[in-house]
Every structure is written in C-alpha cells, then in structure tokens.
C-alpha cells in the first residue's frame, strides 16, 4: 500500500501552485489598489516553491513512481516536464508584471489563472491514465481560454479567445472519442495496462473481431485531439491567430507551457503506449513533414514578428513530431529525454522572444512589425543581442541550445533508419534560418529617426527574465541533463 | 592544456571586451588579448615533434558520455601552420580596425571568430568540430552585417545561408556516420571501413560543406558580395582564414575518411578547380571595383590550391598547404591595404584613384610587394606553392595544368592593370591632402611583408613539419584497400588473433 506522506510530498509542486491560486484570489478580493503591487511577487513565490519541490524530487534517489491508485506517475520524465511548465509560468509572470502595469490591467485573477493553468499542466504531465489526463488537460485549457481573451476590450484578443475556445472544445471531443473507443476495446484506461493489451492483441483476431482496427481508430482520434492542442498541421489553423491576438506574455505562456505539457503527454502516449509498430508511425511521419514544411513556408511571408513567431512555433512542433515518428525502434526513455530536452530549450527561446516582443512593442502592443524595430540593435545593444541569441537558437545554430535540441531529435530519426525524414527536417532548419536571420538583420538596418527606443524601460523583473532566457539558451546544451 | 587555452583565451577575451566598462579601451584590450594568443601559440611550433605524424598536444574529456561526445583536441602537421596563420593574422586585423571602428562589438566578434576557428582546427571529435564549425558563422554574420558596406544585410544573409546549407547536409552525414560507428572519435571513424554507397553520399555531403566555404567554382555565389561588403578586417578573416578551413576540412575529413569516394570524385573536383581558376581570373579582368578584383583573384587562387590537393601526390599536397599559408598572408595584406585606401578615400572604384604612388609611396611599395607575391614572383611567398602545385598537376593531367597556368597569365594582367589604374598615371588635385601610411599601419604591414619574404626564401622551414602528417594521414589512407571480401576476412582473422593474444597473455 502506498503511504499518505509519500503521496503528499510527491505532489508537493501541485499543492504549492493550488495554494498560490487561493492566496492570489483572496488577495484580489481584500486588497486595495495599492496592494496589487504584491500580486506578481506572491505568484512568483509560490512558483519558486513549486520549482524547488520539483528540484528536490529530481535530486532524490529513486522516484515515487505510480501513485493515487496508479492514476498519477511521478517519474523523472514527469518531474522534468513539471519543471518546464513551472518555468514557463514563472517567465510569464515576470514578463506580465511590467506589461500589465504598462497596459493598466493588473488584476489578481490574471496571476491566479496562470497558476491554475500551471496546476492543470502538472496534473496533465503526471497522468498515467486517460481520465486524469483529460481532467488535467481541461483545467489547463479552460484557464488558457480565459487568458487568451484577457484584454477583452481589444477585438483581437476576444477573437483569439473565441477561436482558441472553439478549437479547443472541438479537439477535446476528438480526444474523448478516442479514449472511449480505446476503453471499449481494451477495458482499461491505464497506460501500462493498455500497452500490455496492445502487445497481446494487436495481431490477434477473436471470433472474427479484430481489435487492431479499433485501436487504430482510437489512436487516430487521440492523434487528432492532441494534434490540435500542439498545433500540428493540418490541425494548426487556430495557432497563428491565437498567438498573434493574445497579449504577448500570454502568447509566451500558450506557446511554451501549454504546448510543453500537451506535447509531454503526447510523447508519453506514443512511446510508452503506442511505442509498437502500427500505422500511427506513418501518420506521425506525414504530420511531422507537413508541420515543419508548412510552418516554415508560412513563416517566410510574414512581416509581423509576433505572427512569424506563431508560425515558427508550428514548425517547432513539427521538429518534435520527428522525434515521435521515430519512437518505434528507439528506447522510450531516449525519445522522452530528447523531447523533454527540446521542450526545455524551446521554452527558454520562445518565451524569451515573446517576452522581448512584449517589451519592444510599446503601449497597446502597437508596434510588432519588422519595420518598427529598424536599428534597435544600435540603440539598445544588449536587447538586440538578446533577440539575436534567441533567433540563432531557434534557427538551430551552434553553440546555442537550439542546435543540441534538434540534434537529439534528428538523431532519433537517423538511428531508426529514417534518413529521408532527417534530410527533410534539416532542410527545414535551413528554410527557417532564412527568416530568423532576417529578423536579426532588421535590428541592424539604418535606424529610423521617428522611433526612439530609449523610452522602453527594463525593470528588474524583466531583466531577470531575459537574463534567465539568454542564459538558458546559451548553456543548456552543455549541461548534463538530469536523465 | 595548450590547445584549450588557445580556444579559451580569445573566448574569455571576447567576453571581457563585451563587458569592459570603458568602451574606448576595448580595442586596445582586444589587441592585447590577440597578441597574447599569438605569442602563446608559438610554443606549438617550438614544442612540435617533427618525427610524429599523428596528433600531438592531445586532450580528452567527456562531454556527453552516453552519446559518445568528447572534448577531444590535437594537432598534426596539417593544422599546425593554419593555427599559426590564424593567431598571426588576428592581432593584425584587430590593429587594422583601430582607425575605423571603436565599438566593442566589432572586436568581440573578431575574438569569438578566432576562438571558433582555432576550435575547428584542433577538434578531433567530429561533434566538437561541427559545433565550432557552425559557431564561426555567428561572429562572421555580425562582422559583415553590422560593420559592412551599403548592401551588407543581403551579403551577410546570402553568405550565412550558403554556408548553412552545406553544413546542415554535413550534419546529416555526421548523424549517419555516428549511427554506424557509434563514436565521434576521429581515429575510430578513420579506421572504420564504409561501404561504397555510404562513402559516396557522405563524401558528397561533407565536401559540399567544405567546398562552399572555400569556395569551389559553382558554389561561389556568395563570395563577391560578402568579400566586397565586409569591412576590411572581415574580408581578411573570410579569405585568409575561413576559406582555408574549407580546404582543411577536405584534407582532414573528406579524403581520409572516404578514400574511395575521394578518388572517384578527384577528377571532377580538379576540373572544377581549374574552371574556378579561369573563371575567377576572367571575372577579375572585367571588374572596375578593385576590391572585387581581389575577391575574384582570391577565388582563382583557391582553385589552384584545390587542384594541388586533389592530385593526391605529396608534392601537390605540400604545395597546396604551403599555398594556403602564403595565400593567407598575401591576401590578408592586400585586403588590409585596400581597407587603408578606403579609409583615405571611401570608394573601391578604380576611376576614383590614380597616381597614388606619388602621394603615398610607402603604401604603393607595400602593395607592389604583396601583389608580386600573389603573382608568384620567385623569392616571394606565392612562388613555391604554385610551382609545387603545377608540377604535380602537370604529372597528373597535362591539359589541366596548362589551363591553370593560363589563369596565372591572366592574374598578371589584372593585377598590373589594377596597380596602374590606382597607383600610377596622373594625380588629381584633391589628392594632396591624402596622408601616407601612419606608424600603426606600417607596423601592422611589416610582419606580413616579412612573412611573404620568409616563406619565399626558406620554404623548407614550412614544408618540413607537414610532410610526415600528409604522408601518414592523407596519402597512406588513399592506398587501395584489399578487396572487399578479403578485407572482411582479414578483419575477422585479425580479431581472432587479438582475442587469442588476450587469452594467451592472461
């Protein structure tokens, strides 16, 4: 029998985050206008506590494993993903505090929602059965829908929220159908049990009834449902509008934390459960190639940095899908390691870039076109260098961490003998380099006289956030990864 | 520790330059750092063991042990001179920038580039090599993109994209090789026998990356713009240092790792090299922009180097490597002089100049000296390498050698045309205000002039250290392996014997 203290300590990050939500809501209720200054600090405190709990889990010998009647699994992979999601929330709070002050829209609910979504992510990435997965996913998504429409007086923001909500609900339905079918055919919702069932019955035919057909149908529906969440082509239609329409710090959160959590569980499903030969491998290959290529080609034509980043985030989901496509034939933990590493790196560089946009776009986020940043590199050299580092990393150039992330993913494909997939992935990196380098080049064109970048302040929190992102982008590749 | 310090010192220097509180002093700091690196690198020569053909100054640490990635460095006779060339040129480039640039970023980029170049030259782990190889692009991108001329942005993006395309395909080949060999260690991969098909594709992928960097004839699209738009120091680093890395990559990786494919491709590369020699020379004769003339002449001379190397004879290889060093020295000098001309009159058009030998006699004399070296005047740097290359090429293929020689006739034509237009002829009035070289400029050109004479007068000093390594690491590896089946049987036999030995010794 599992003992209670272990179950409590193993989910300590979750408790901290939930406690943070309650405290933030109470503070919002009882504090006056002046008291709102402490809101981000309170949110940060709880996030740091949760991260600390994660690190103490990572450093202890032996993981707790399956808990709560096997509905949750606390292993290296889930703890790492929890840390990535919490990191994303932390960066979002840091970017938001200056942004919301500038837009005069500071409320307690905002921070409470971020922590609520973070709680959903923790549940999602630790799920070891489908119902927990679904509860975590919905908790995360619903908070996300509200965050996307946070500035409800802005039309774009409302549009983003509506699109995100409709697509999200739609994809949840797919997911539920998939879960129902898999339950119907196998009689279980636990991942390890389902795997055992698949290994036994994939090729069996019981009384003219072939479970493989239903398993494949279920897997296809899961693929579609999760594909919507992580924005794989052709399920990506919502992503550019949502990432572009939401306020920049929220875009940072949606494109890193939410995506990391969804992709994390996606990877667990397609390695630990569906990591056996089946038609989903071919489907994932096709999705990966489509996602990378269409994401990158659409990004080529953009003239708005935020939109460019939205498409680039689609393309990066494609690189991750390359790793998943190679899941069969590679050990599950090496796939999960590569995916988790990439998600960590991706969080640093993408959150950093969205944060950069939040800083540089000025009041009301009015300036997000390339042309608005002409010559910024001369006026604010350090901020220019920061964006350049993010762009080099997104393009996958050494020695930034983006290269190492891509290397580990592509190596999986190569080890699986998928040479053509590797070549396509590498050529996509090449296309992406074109537009990422273009962004850097804009910073060093002759400056326009009419825009002065001197008035953009960098507060302590913002400085810390950028410092964290730049440092993460530069050194993560050289660290020994925890597993 | 010597090699790690050579990589680390410029890197730390770059960070110091980036963070130094007083921006005006950063250029002096950068110069001091690069000078220290040069002085420090001299011990590579003094402690170099001439009798040892393998890697020396070796270091080995684990980086990512479960993926077989190591920090492994070492040098042999091939990389020795290229490292010394790099450490020799960087202080001069830094010093040359004093007049035009005072931003810290410029000097930080130069030092970063130096660190990456040295890293590339000393890596004996293929992963490490790739990391340094691509790392070069970032400082180079900024050097051209921020401190370059009018069309710098287009030039720098073109340059980086060309180079990236090549290196990304090399990455695929690298992934494949390590998938097969399960190691990134150079000597392990070199001892591995690859199937014919694998050799073909891997050679192609690696060679493309290196030949774009050189560049060989059809891959030179980035060259004219990048060379012309880059600031003088940047052009020097591009032509004198980074172009050599392409050839180095061929010598170190393409040829020894995939010998059969190298032999199959050699005639084609030699033909393209000669086409490059002629194309570069002909294009140079058509230009009115003298920086472009030098850019095309650099292309033409790089073709010669490739011609020598792909003869696969010791003479040709030695000539190629020696010519790399001399090309580095005289091209650096010429591009720096062009930069000095530009500082005096911001234009590269020959029609805006004329008669400068009267107003700036020292500049004109030094230009003539370096130009003569580039033309292959006996007693100066270009001569020995060219003779060695042409002799070996003549033995390999008479027609190609004769065509390559005609490229040299053309090079005399465009160089003397350039000299006549810029330095001779009537002076115009405004020119009286133009100053001759300052003490700083003379100080930075004198070492180059000395080196040009030194290489020309005692080539053996330079040829001796590389001979053994070229013989052992390139030529020996090209010797025909026993037939495939024999080879496999041989391997098995050897393995069995080794196992017996082990048992016996126990």
Distance from CA of B108 to the nearest CA of A (A): 12
User: Which of A292, A296, A405, A414 would best serve as a mutation to test chain B binding (most B beta carbons within 10 A)?
Assistant: A414
Average pLDDT over residues B198-219: 92
Confidence band (pLDDT; 50, 70, 90) for B69? confident
CB contact under 8 Å between B145 and A440, yes or no, is yes
With beta carbons less than 8 A apart as the criterion, state whether B129 and B120 touch. Answer: yes
Contact A414 B132 (CB under 8 A): no
Return the higher-pLDDT residue of B115 and B356. Answer: B115
Minimum mean pLDDT among A7-11, A315-319, A331-335: which range?
A7-11
**Region B57-85: what's the mean pLDDT?**
86
Average of per-residue pLDDT across B273-283: 93
Q: What does the DSSP 8-state code read for residue A181?
A: H
Residue B496: pLDDT band (50, 70, 90) is: low
Domain that holds residue A121: 4-478
Cβ atoms of B354 and B426 within 8 Å: the answer is: yes
> Which ipTM score applies to this complex?
0.89
Q: Mean per-residue pLDDT for A443-467?
A: 81
Residue B483 reports pLDDT greater than 60: no
H helices within B59-103, ranges in order?
77-96
Rounded average pLDDT over A337-354: 94
Question: Do residues B77 and B472 touch, judged by C-beta distance below 8 A?
Answer: no
**Quick check: B157 and A430 CB within 8 A?**
no
Decide if A411 and B175 are in contact by the 8 Å CB cutoff.
yes
Residue A69 has pLDDT above 90, yes or no: no
- Tell which of B119, B145, B151, B165 to mutate to test the A interface (max A CBs under 10 Å): B145
Closest Cα of chain A to B62: distance in Å?
11
Q: Which CA distances in Å does A374 have to A283, A432, B138, B145, B152? A: 42, 21, 20, 13, 15
Q: Who among A407, A414, A438 is closest to B179 (CB)?
A: A414
Q: How many domains does chain A have?
A: 1
CB contact under 8 A, B134 and A440: no
Closest CA to B278 of B294, B301, B311: B301
Q: Which residues of B fall within a CB distance of 8 Å from A380?
A: none
When mean pLDDT is compared over A75-89, A146-160, B59-73, B375-389, the highest value belongs to A75-89
**Residue A4's CB: how many other CB atoms inside 10 A?**
8
Q: How large is the average pLDDT for residues B60-72?
A: 80
CA distance A308 to chain B (A): 18
- Per-residue pLDDT tens digits for A10-44: 889 999 999 999 999 998 888 877 778 888 999 99
Mutation site for A-interface testing, chosen from B62, B105, B144, B146 by largest number of A Cβ within 10 Å: B146
What does the pLDDT read at residue A1? 39
- The whole-number pLDDT of residue B52 equals 84
Q: What is the pLDDT of residue B358?
A: 83
Q: Which residues of A274-296 are buried (b: 16+ CB within 10 A; e: fewer)?
A: bbeebebbebbbebbbbbbbbbb
In-domain check, residue A135: yes
Question: What is the tens place of the pLDDT at every residue in A191-231?
Answer: 999 998 888 877 666 666 778 888 889 999 999 999 999 99
Would the pLDDT of A448 be above 70?
Answer: no
Among A161, A95, A176, CA closest to A131: A176
- B164 contacts A433? CB cut-off 8 A: yes
Minimal C-alpha gap between A223 and chain B (Å): 28
B15 touches A at CB < 8 Å: no
Q: If interface means Cβ-Cβ distance under 8 Å, which residues of chain A face chain B?
A: 377, 381, 388, 392, 397-399, 403, 407, 410-411, 414-415, 419, 422-423, 426-427, 429-430, 433-434, 437-438, 440-441, 444-445, 478, 480
pTM, 2 dp: 0.91
User: Which of B105, B153, B168 shows the shortest C-beta gap to A430?
Assistant: B168
> Counting beta carbons within 10 angstroms of the beta carbon of residue A96, is it exposed (0 to 12), middle (13 to 18) or buried (19 or more)?
buried
Find, in chain A, the residue whose alpha carbon is nearest to that of B67.
A408
Are B164 and A397 an interchain contact pair (Cβ–Cβ within 8 Å)? yes
Geometric angle at alpha carbon B441, from B439 and B443, rounded to 5° = 65
In a domain, A309, yes or no: yes
The SS3 assignment for B473 reads: helix
Mean pLDDT for all residues in chain A: 89
The residue extents of the domains of chain B are 2-505
Residue numbers of B between 27 and 86 with CB closer than 8 Å to A: 63-64, 67
CA distances from B426 to A266, A398, B437 (A): 76, 52, 21
Q: What is the DSSP letter of A49?
A: H
Tell me which residue in A381, A399, A437 faces B160 most closely, judged by beta carbons.
A437
Q: How far apart are CA B415 and CA B374, in angstroms?
A: 9
- CB pairs < 8 Å spanning A and B: 72
Among B157, B165, B168, the residue with its CB nearest the CB of A437 is: B157
Say if the Cβ atoms of B153 and A441 lie within 8 Å. Answer: yes
pLDDT in tens, B90-117: 999 999 988 888 888 899 999 999 999 9
Among candidates B67, B131, B153 on the partner chain, residue whose Cβ is nearest the Cβ of A398: B131
Q: Does B159 touch chain A (CB under 8 A)?
A: no
Chain A hits for B159, Cβ within 8 Å: none
Q: Please tell me the predicted confidence (pLDDT) of residue A21.
A: 94
C-alpha angle A471/A473/A476, rounded to 5°? 85
Give yes or no for B157 touching A (CB within 8 A): yes
Closest chain A residue to B19 measured between Cα atoms?
A382
Q: Do B161 and A478 touch (CB under 8 A)?
A: no
Query: Cβ distance A36 to A96 under 8 Å?
Result: no
Query: CA of A181 to nearest chain B CA: how many angstroms apart?
Result: 39
A413, closest residue in chain B (CA to CA): B175
Q: Which residue of A has its CA nearest to B69?
A: A478
Chain B residue closest in CA terms to A436? B157
pLDDT given for residue A2 in this prediction: 46
Nearest CA in chain A to B163: A430
Chain A residues inside the 8 Å CB shell of B164: 397, 430, 433
Residue A483, in any domain of the structure: no
Residue A256 confidence class, pLDDT cut points 50, 70, 90 = very high
| Residue B202, pLDDT score | 93
**Which of B18, B112, B125, B137 to probe the A interface (max A CBs under 10 A)?**
B137
Q: What is the model's pLDDT at position B187?
A: 86
pLDDT, tens digit, for every residue of B162-183?
999 999 999 999 999 988 888 8
| Contact (Cβ atoms closer than 8 angstroms) between residue B276 and residue B217 | yes
All residues of chain B having their beta carbon less than 8 Å from the beta carbon of residue A326 are: none
What residue of A is the nearest CA neighbor of B154? A441
CB nearest to A398's CB, from B63, B135, B146: B135
More confident residue, B440 or B484: B440
Check pLDDT > 80 for residue B252.
yes
Q: Is residue A157 part of a domain?
A: yes
In this complex, the residue of A399, A407, A419 whose CB is nearest that of residue B176 is A419
pLDDT higher than 50, residue A483: no
**Residue A482 pLDDT greater than 60, yes or no:** no
Question: From the list A381, A397, A426, which residue is nearest B172 (CB)?
Answer: A426
Residue B375 vs residues A383, B241, B314, B380: alpha-carbon distances, Å: 47, 20, 23, 9
For A426, which residue in chain B has the nearest alpha carbon?
A: B168
Confidence check: pLDDT of B378 > 50: yes
Distance from CA of A408 to the nearest CA of B (A): 9
Sequence-distant (6+) residues with CB within 8 A of A199 are A276
Residue B237, min C-alpha distance to chain A (Å): 20
Please name which of B352, B241, B220, B350 lies closest in space to residue B296, comparing C-alpha atoms: B220
Q: In this predicted structure, what is the pLDDT of residue B505?
A: 53
Half-sphere exposure of B278 (CA within 13 A, CB side): 12
Judging contacts by C-beta atoms under 8 Å, the chain A residues touching residue B157 are 434, 437-438, 441
What is the C-alpha separation between A436 and A419, in angstroms, rounded?
26
DSSP state for residue A60 in the 8-state scheme? S
The most distant pair of C-alpha atoms in chain B lies apart, rounded to whole Å, by: 90
Which of A121-125, A136-140, A197-201 bottoms out in mean pLDDT, i.e. has the lowest? A197-201
pLDDT band at residue B424, thresholds of 50, 70 and 90? Answer: confident
């Amino acid at each position: 029998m599992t003992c209670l203290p272990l179950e409590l300590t193993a989910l300590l990050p979750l408790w901290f985050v939930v406690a943070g939500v309650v405290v933030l809501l109470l503070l919002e209720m009882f504090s006056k206008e002046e008291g709102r200054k402490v809101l981000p600090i309170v949110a940060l405190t709880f996030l740091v506590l949760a991260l600390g709990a994660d690190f103490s889990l990572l450093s202890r010998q032996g993981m707790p494993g399956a808990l709560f009647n096997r509905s949750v699994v606390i292993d290296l992979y889930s703890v790492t993903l929890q840390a990535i999601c919490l990191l994303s929330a932390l960066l979002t709070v840091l970017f938001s505090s200056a942004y919301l002050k500038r837009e005069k829209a500071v409320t307690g609910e905002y921070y409470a929602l971020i922590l609520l979504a973070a709680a959903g992510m923790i549940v999602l990435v630790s799920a070891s059965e489908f119902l927990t997965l679904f509860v975590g996913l919905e908790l995360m998504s619903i908070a996300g829908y509200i965050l996307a429409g946070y500035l409800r007086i802005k039309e774009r923001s409302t549009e983003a929220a509506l699109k995100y909500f409709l697509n999200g609900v739609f994809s949840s339905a797919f997911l539920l159908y998939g879960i129902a079918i898999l339950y119907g055919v196998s009689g279980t919702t636990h991942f390890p049990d389902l795997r055992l069932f698949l290994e036994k019955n994939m090729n069996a035919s019981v009384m003219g009834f072939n479970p493989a057909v239903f398993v494949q149908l279920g897997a296809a529906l899961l693929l579609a449902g999760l594909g919507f969440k992580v924005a794989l082509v052709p399920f990506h239609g919502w992503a550019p509008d949502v990432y572009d329409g939401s306020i920049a710090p929220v875009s940072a959160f949606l494109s890193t934390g939410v995506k990391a959590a969804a992709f994390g569980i996606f990877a667990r499903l397609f390695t630990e459960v569906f990591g056996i030969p089946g038609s989903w491998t071919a489907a994932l290959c096709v999705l990966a190639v489509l996602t990378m290529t269409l994401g990158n080609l659409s990004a080529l034509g953009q003239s708005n940095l935020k939109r460019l980043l939205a498409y680039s985030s689609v393309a990066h989901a494609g690189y991750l899908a390359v790793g998943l496509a190679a899941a069969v034939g590679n050990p599950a933990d090496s796939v999960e390691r590569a995916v988790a590493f990439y998600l960590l790196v991706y969080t640093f560089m993408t959150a950093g870039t969205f944060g950069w946009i939040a800083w540089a776009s000025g009041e009301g986020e009015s300036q997000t076109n390339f042309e608005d940043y002409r010559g910024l590199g001369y006026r604010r050299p350090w901020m220019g260098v920061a964006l350049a580092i993010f762009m080099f990393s997104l393009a996958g150039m050494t020695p930034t961490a983006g290269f190492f992330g891509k290397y580990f993913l592509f190596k999986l494909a190569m080890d699986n003998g998928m040479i053509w997939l590797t070549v396509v992935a590498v050529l996509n990196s090449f296309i992406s380099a074109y537009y990422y380098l273009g962004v850097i080049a804009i910073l060093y064109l002759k400056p326009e006289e009419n825009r002065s970048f001197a008035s953009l302040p960098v507060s302590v929190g913002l400085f810390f956030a950028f410092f964290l992102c730049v440092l993460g982008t530069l050194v993560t590749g050289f660290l020994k990864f925890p597993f | 520790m010597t090699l790690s310090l050579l990589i680390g010192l410029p890197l730390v220097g770059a960070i110091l330059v980036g963070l130094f509180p007083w921006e005006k002093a950063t250029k002096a700091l950068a110069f001091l750092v690069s000078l220290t690196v040069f002085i420090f690198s001299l011990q590579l020569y003094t402690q170099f063991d001439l009798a040892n053909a393998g890697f020396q100054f070796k270091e080995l640490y684990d980086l990512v042990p479960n993926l077989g990635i190591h920090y492994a460095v070492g040098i042999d006779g091939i990389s020795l001179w290229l490292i010394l060339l790099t450490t020799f040129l960087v202080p001069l480039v830094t010093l040359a920038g004093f007049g035009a640039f005072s931003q810290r970023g410029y000097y930080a980029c130069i030092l970063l580039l130096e660190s990456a170049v040295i890293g590339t030259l000393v890596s004996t782990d293929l992963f490490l090599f790739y990391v340094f190889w691509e790392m070069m692009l970032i400082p180079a991108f900024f050097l051209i993109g921020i401190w370059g001329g009018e069309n710098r942005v287009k030039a720098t993006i073109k340059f980086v994209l060309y180079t990236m395309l090549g290196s990304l395909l090399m990455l695929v080949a690298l992934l494949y090789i390590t998938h097969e060999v399960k190691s990134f260690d150079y000597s392990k991969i070199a001892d591995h026998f690859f199937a014919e098909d694998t050799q073909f594709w891997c050679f192609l992928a690696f060679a493309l990356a290196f030949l774009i960097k050189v560049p060989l004839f059809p891959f030179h699209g980035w060259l004219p713009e990048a060379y012309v738009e880059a600031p003088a120091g940047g052009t020097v680093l591009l032509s004198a240092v980074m172009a050599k890395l392409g050839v180095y990559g061929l010598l170190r990786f393409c040829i020894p790792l995939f010998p059969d494919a190298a032999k199959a491709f050699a005639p084609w590369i030699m033909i393209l090299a000669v086409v490059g020699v002629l194309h570069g020379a002909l294009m140079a004769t058509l230009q009115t922009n003298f920086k472009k003339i030098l850019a095309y002449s650099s292309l033409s001379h790089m073709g010669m180097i490739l011609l020598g190397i792909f003869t696969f004879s010791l003479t040709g290889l030695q000539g190629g490597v020696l010519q790399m060093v001399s090309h580095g020295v005289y091209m650096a000098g010429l591009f720096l002089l062009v930069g000095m001309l530009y500082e005096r009159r911001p234009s590269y058009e020959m029609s805006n100049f004329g008669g400068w030998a009267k107003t700036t006699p020292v500049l004109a004399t030094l230009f003539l000296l370096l130009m003569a070296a580039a033309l292959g005047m006996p007693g100066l740097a270009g001569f020995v390498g060219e003779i060695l290359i042409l002799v070996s090429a003549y033995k390999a293929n008479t027609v190609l050698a004769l065509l390559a020689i005609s490229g040299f006739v053309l090079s005399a034509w465009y160089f003397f045309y350039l000299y006549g237009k810029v330095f001779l002829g009537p002076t115009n009035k405004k020119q009286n205000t133009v100053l001759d070289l300052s003490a700083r400029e003379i100080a930075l050109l004198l070492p180059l002039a000395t080196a040009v004479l030194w290489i020309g007068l005692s080539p053996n000093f330079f040829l001796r250290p590389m001979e053994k390594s070229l013989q052992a690491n390139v030529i020996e590896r090209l010797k025909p392996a026993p037939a495939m089946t024999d080879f496999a049987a041989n391997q098995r036999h050897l393995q069995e014997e080794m196992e017996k030995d082990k048992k016996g010794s126990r």
